[in-house]
Each structure stands twice: as C-alpha cells, then as structure tokens.
Structure 1
C-alpha cells in the first residue's frame, strides 16, 4: 500500500468522486465476475441488482470481493447455483448482508430513528449516538 501523502488534487478528486482505490478494486471485482461461466455471472448480476436496492451499494467493496470469492470457489468446486442460494434466494442474500451491517443505509437509518425517538422521550442516548453514522 502506498504511504505517500496524497496530492491536493487527488484529495479533492476523491472528495468528489470517492476513493480511487475502491474504484480500482470494484473494477477488479467486475473483471472477476466477467470471467465466471454465464449462468454464475447471471446469478451474480441479479444479486448485484438486489444489493443496489437493499445493500450497502458501493460502500462495501469487501462485500463484493467476498461475493466474487464465493462464486469463483463454487465454480471451482462444481457447486450448482441452487446449492449456493438454497430454495429461497432472498433468505440467502439477507443472511449474506448481515455480515456487512456497517455499510447498510437501512441499518444506519434504523439506528438514527431509534436514537431520535429515545431523545424525544428524554432518555440518555449518549452511548447509542456514537454508533450512528
């Protein structure tokens, strides 16, 4: 990893566009997915669409890298797609998402909402407020 200080231009660029390192990692993830057999790639792309609505979006690149790892290993092992997802694909993806709670906007909003109600009720929320981003 590069330990040199970032240039002023690069700092500004990353404020506007997001982390360049994350963008590079995401492009690598997409290249990995492109190498999967068509049926596995179709399943990953469907999972990505679901994650765009209900997951952390692009905030958790490690989640996408883990997804690529899972499918690459499944291809190598000859694991059928149905065995990856089980009978209920939504149950699978919800369980998968629970491993990445820090990036889920819905989790942050639930925490924010709960803290706001507690404050409105006059309860001490000093501990909970620190966990809300």
Structure 2
C-alpha cells in the first residue's frame, strides 16, 4: 500500500463521514451504534468493503422517503446488522479457524 492509497483512503473516509453527518440526528445515532457493533463483530472486509457506504445509501433513501430510521431497520439494531453480515466472513470465523487448526500447522 503506497502513500497515494493511504491518501485516497482518507479522502474516501472523510467523504463518507460527511454523508453520515448530513443525516438527521436519529439516523446518525443508529448509524453510529451499527458502526460500533459491526467493528466489534468484524466482517473482515468492513473498512474497505461496501457495507458502511451501503448503509448510508439505504439511510439516505429512507430520509428521502420520509421514513423514520426504526421503520427501516426495526427496533433490534444488532439483529439487523447480523442479517447484513450473515454470509460474510468475520473475525470470529478467522479466530475459530485458528483455534481449530491442528497444533503445529498454523499458517505462517
């Protein structure tokens, strides 16, 4: 990863956070809770993947349609997030694979 990639990544992240800040307060609160949850359960491709921008797109569409955030996702934020990542490889999966490996055969 070169310096240009780092700079471009920072630009994209700043643009993403600006979109989040433009959401109504209730959407921002739910987004931040979702983000915390997703960083904990950790889809492996979360930082570079399409999940977080996709959530912002979904929320922007909800705002445009005049819907409340809980109308879109329901009252259980964690269950909604789990549904989003159900077929995604997570850090928990990586950990389970690492402890399930035979002793002495760990990847190097």
TM range, smaller chain:
0.7 to 0.9
- Tell me the alpha carbon deviations over residues 6-65 of structure 1, each in whole angstroms, 9 at most, x when there is no partner: xxxx72x47xxx743333222111010011111111111121122221223853342111
The separation in 1 between residues aligned to 2:43 and 2:10, in whole angstroms, is 15
Please give the TM-score of this superposition, normalised by the length of structure 1. Answer: 0.63
User: Displacement, 1:66?
Assistant: 0.6
Contact 1:55–1:97 under 8 Å retained in 2: no
Q: 1:19 to 1:108 in 2, by over 3 A?
A: farther
User: Aligned residue pairs: how many?
Assistant: 105
Asked whether 1:108 is paired with 2:94, we answer yes
Runs of at least 5 residues in structure 2 that lack an aligned partner in the other structure? none
Q: What SS does the corresponding residue of 1:67 show, helix, strand or coil?
A: helix
> How large is the Cα RMSD of the aligned pairs?
2.8
Distance 1:19 1:54 in 2: 25
Once superposed, which parts of structure 1, at least 4 consecutive aligned residues long, lie more than 4 Å away? none
Q: How does 1:1-133 map to 2 (within 5 A)?
A: 11=2, 13=3, 19-56=6-43, 59-98=47-86, 101-102=88-89, 104-114=90-100, 116=101, 119=102
Bigger relative contact order, structure 1 or 2 (CA pairs below 8 A, ≥6 apart)? 2
TM-score, with length taken from structure 2: 0.75
CA contact (8 A) 1:25 1:61 kept: no
Q: Which has the higher helix share?
A: 1
Please state whether the residue corresponding to 1:79 is helix, strand or coil: coil
Q: Which has the larger radius of gyration?
A: 1
| 5+ long unaligned stretches in structure 1 | 1-9, 121-128
